[in-house]
């Protein structure tokens, strides 16, 4: 049963993620991304981590993607601009597109390398104590003791980004 | 096992039907209470005291023509009301409405009176409610109409702003009960203080309760915070272009969301199905009474208070409600930690 569910959720996650970049309408991209988050949340439930699953929905699908939608709606761009470069071979497109192709290729190489180095992912998951992962108390304890520095550093980064955004959006003379 | 499974399926059916009928009943209550507040009598012709009025309304709605603007996005336009209605039903799934029961010995083992007992149940309610905003946002965008779009933008901004205060108020109860399961939280409120005062969290957490109800009214887009559908400014807001069954689904979702917020408030602050005088098997009567009272307060507030201005709503949410909620959470956590209660 859970094997079938794993393949269903996995297939939905992969398919919707692939479709996200294949849409000409940004609204559909955002909604497909939400569907992908939902499928990943289902995978968390199968891994006996209901807390992570729910947090995934609340934070990513419920809050961050709503802000994405907000931006898409305010910009009101039903179609991304189809420029004259669209028909060129990816490597012959100007600046940003070329860099993107190179970065994507690097990512594929990196993933292949990482997968060749790790062996027996299945065993690692099987040996992991699932009850530790799912306990909210345990997550809280680890986050505020062992990983305090990473946690606080992330908060600081987000704060800096927020201050920067406010500074950029502020009009002169206010 | 077979009997228990059947019992659980029956519970699901009961919850589903109860929510639909609660929505219909609320339409009648809303019209009657509003009428008496305005010194009218409200519907009286359809059935006894107009009780069949909501059913007449629904039949009328279902037989209307389904309209869709030519410039609308056909797929998303149809999807939006489905999302709204589905999330409204699902959000109720982890709320228990009574003590575990064997139905007077019919079952070999007691079943909990809720659709699903999840150990992070409270967060599930919160997560599903936060998905509900998609129905409104998508409907506003897909309609391709300025009133709908403005309503949807207002709604998403409002829901994001008030979700913070809402979640922080929930957190105070989680800290006190030390559990995320709604059933555990309800059971933590069993018994009395000094033999008279029920151990309901509304007494130590009056501030939290008020914050929760205020944010809850804003979350469900009800007056005085009903900006997404402010008639005088936006015609009907996000559902301006909707008619017939699709409109009925939005309507249904709004009323079911009110029931859910009231049920969550009952479970978290008013002791759920616990109450004096009744044996524990009939605790669901207490639950219904408490939810009914909160729903009446909802209607009472709507027809008593005028609508705020939109900037006042944002100011109130960010500069008053959220700081008070955070201070309340810190104070609660400190007291719980210090006295180890």
Residues of A in contact with B119 (CB under 8 A): 50
What is the Cα–Cα distance from A79 to A72, expressed in whole angstroms? 11
Tell whether B180 is within 8 A of chain A (Cβ): yes
State the residue for tokens 């659709």. B115
Q: Which of A50, A61, A74 sits opposite B118 (nearest CB)?
A: A50
> What is the DSSP code (8-state) at residue A119?
-
- pLDDT band with cut points at 50, 70 and 90 for residue B307: confident
- What pLDDT is stored for residue A155 in this prediction? 92
d(CA A3, CA B39): 62
Percent of chain B with pLDDT over 70: 96
More confident residue, A159 or A78: A159
DSSP β-ladder status, B197-198 and B192-193: antiparallel
**Maximal C-alpha separation, chain B:** 66
Residue A69: list chain B partners with CB under 8 A: 134, 137, 141, 156
Each residue of A119-160: pLDDT tens digit?
655 555 555 554 445 577 788 888 888 888 998 999 999 999
DSSP, res A41: H
């956590």: which residue's tokens?
Answer: B333
Name the closest residue on chain A to residue B161, using Cα atoms: A63
Q: Are B169 and B214 in contact (CB under 8 A)?
A: no
Q: What does the pLDDT average to over B81-86?
A: 89
pLDDT, tens digit, for every residue of B139-164? Answer: 888 887 778 888 888 877 787 788 88
Q: Which of A60, A69, A166 to mutate to test the interface with B (most CBs of B within 10 A)?
A: A69
DSSP code for A57: I
What is the b/e burial string over A65-104, where b = at least 16 CB atoms within 10 angstroms of the residue's CB? bbebbbebbeeeeeeeeeeeeeeeeeeebeeebeeeeeee
CA of A165, closest CA in chain B: separation in Å? 18
**Mean pLDDT, rounded, for B104-122:** 76
Question: Closest approach of chain A CAs to the CA of B28, in angstroms?
Answer: 32
| N-term to C-term CA, chain A | 60
The distance of B124 to chain A (nearest Cα, Å) reads: 6
**Assembly ipTM:** 0.78
User: Which residues, other chains included, contact B222 with Cβ-Cβ below 8 Å and sequence gap of 6+?
Assistant: B254, B258, B298, B301, B302
- The whole-angstrom separation of Cα B165 and Cα B188 is 23
| HEC secondary structure over B87-116 | HHHHHHHHCCCCCCECCCCCCCCCECCCCC
Q: Which of B101, B157, B90, B154 is nearest to B126 (CA)?
A: B90
d(CA A30, CA A11): 18
Instruction: Judge: A55–B123 Cβ closer than 8 Å, yes or no.
Output: yes
d(CA B191, CA B280): 12
In tens, the pLDDT along B225-280 reads 776 666 666 677 777 778 788 888 888 888 888 898 898 888 888 887 877 777 77
CA dist B329 and A54 (Å) reads 21
Better pLDDT: A7 or B245: A7
pLDDT of the residue at B122: 85
Which helix (H) or strand (E) segment holds residue B140: the answer is helix B121-142
CB B89 within 8 A of CB B17: no
What is the model's pTM?
0.81
Verify whether the Cβ–Cβ distance B133 to A67 is below 8 Å: no
Q: Is B254 exposed, middle or buried (0-12, 13-18, 19+ CB in 10 A)?
A: buried
Instruction: Say which range, A38-42, A135-139, B23-27, has the weakest mean pLDDT.
Output: A135-139
Please tell me whether residue B66 adopts helix, strand or coil conformation: coil
Interface contact A27-B76, CB threshold 8 A? yes
Among candidate residues B203, B201, B340, B335, the one with its CA nearest the CA of residue B268: B201
């Amino acid at each position: 049963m859970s094997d079938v569910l794993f393949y269903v959720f996995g297939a939905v996650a992969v398919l919707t993620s692939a479709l996200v970049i294949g849409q000409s309408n940004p609204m559909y991209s955002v909604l497909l991304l939400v569907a992908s988050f939902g499928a990943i949340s289902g995978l968390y439930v199968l891994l006996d981590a209901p807390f992570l699953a729910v947090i995934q929905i609340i934070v990513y699908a419920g809050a961050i993607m709503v802000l994405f939608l907000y931006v898409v709606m305010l910009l009101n761009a039903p179609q991304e601009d189809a420029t004259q470069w669209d028909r060129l071979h990816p490597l012959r497109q100007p600046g940003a597109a070329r860099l993107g192709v190179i970065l994507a290729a690097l990512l594929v190489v990196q993933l292949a390398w990482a997968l060749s180095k790790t062996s027996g992912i299945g065993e690692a998951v099987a040996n992991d104590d699932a009850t530790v992962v799912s306990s909210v108390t345990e997550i809280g304890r680890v986050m505020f003791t062992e990983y305090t520095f990473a946690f606080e550093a992330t908060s600081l980064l987000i704060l800096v980004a927020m201050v920067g955004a406010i500074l950029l959006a502020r009009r002169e003379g206010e | 096992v077979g009997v228990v499974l059947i019992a659980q399926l029956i519970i699901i059916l009961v919850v589903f039907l109860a929510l639909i009928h609660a929505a219909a009943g609320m339409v009648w209550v809303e019209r009657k209470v509003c009428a008496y507040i305005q010194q009218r009598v409200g519907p009286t012709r359809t059935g006894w005291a107009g009780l069949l009025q909501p059913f007449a309304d629904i039949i009328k709605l279902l037989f209307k023509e389904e309209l869709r603007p030519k410039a609308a996005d056909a797929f998303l336009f149809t999807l939006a009301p489905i999302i709204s209605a589905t999330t409204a039903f699902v959000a109720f799934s982890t709320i228990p409405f009574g003590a575990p029961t064997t139905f007077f010995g019919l079952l070999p083992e007691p079943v909990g009176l809720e659709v699903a007992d999840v150990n992070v149940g409270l967060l599930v309610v919160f997560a599903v409610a936060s998905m509900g905003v998609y129905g409104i946002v998508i409907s506003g965008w897909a309609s391709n109409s300025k009133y709908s779009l403005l309503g949807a933008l207002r709604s998403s901004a409002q829901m994001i702003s008030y979700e913070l205060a809402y979640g922080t108020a929930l957190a105070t109860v989680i800290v006190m009960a030390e559990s995320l399961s709604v059933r555990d939280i309800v059971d933590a409120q069993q018994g009395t203080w000094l033999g008279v005062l029920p151990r309901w969290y509304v007494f130590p957490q009056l501030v939290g309760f008020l914050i929760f109800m205020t944010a809850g009214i804003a979350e469900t887009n009800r007056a005085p915070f009903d900006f997404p559908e402010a008639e005088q400014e936006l015609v009907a807001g996000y559902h301006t272009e909707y008619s017939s069954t699709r409109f009925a689904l939005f309507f249904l979702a709004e009323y079911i969301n009110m029931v859910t917020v009231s049920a969550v408030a009952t479970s978290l602050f008013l002791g759920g199905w616990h109450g004096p005088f009744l044996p524990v098997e009939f605790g669901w009567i207490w639950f219904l009474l408490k939810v009914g009272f909160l729903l009446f307060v909802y209607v009472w507030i709507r027809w008593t208070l005028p609508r705020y201005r939109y900037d006042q709503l944002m100011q109130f949410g960010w500069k008053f409600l959220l700081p008070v909620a955070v201070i309340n959470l810190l104070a609660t956590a400190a007291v719980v930690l210090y006295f180890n209660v």
